[in-house]
């Protein structure tokens, strides 16, 4: 690994920082909206799956309690 002086390092960092392309405000808002939509859909999906399997477990437990 090549040794670089602190001044050269700062120059390299500034050069690389100039290459950064920040998203526009509209892109940021659209990405945020998509995140909210996807997390809501996933939350509803997992809520439904959890409810379904919870009902199955309750049904199986009621069957087991009736057998005793």
| Higher pLDDT among residues 67 and 13, named by residue | 13
Annotated domain spans of the chain: 26-68
Pick the closest to residue 52 from 60, 67, 66, 4 (CA basis): 60
- Indicate the pLDDT class of residue 68, thresholds 50, 70 and 90: low
pLDDT of 67 > 80? The answer is: no
pLDDT of 31 > 90? The answer is: yes
pLDDT of 2 > 80? The answer is: no
Average pLDDT over every residue of 41-46: 98
């Amino acid at each position: 690994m090549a040794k670089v002086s602190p001044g050269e390092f700062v120059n390299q960092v500034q050069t690389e920082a100039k290459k950064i392309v920040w998203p526009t405000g509209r892109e940021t808002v659209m990405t945020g909206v998509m995140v909210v939509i996807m997390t809501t859909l996933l939350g509803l999906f997992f809520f439904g799956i959890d409810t379904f399997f919870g009902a199955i477990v309750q049904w199986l437990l009621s069957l087991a309690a009736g057998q005793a």
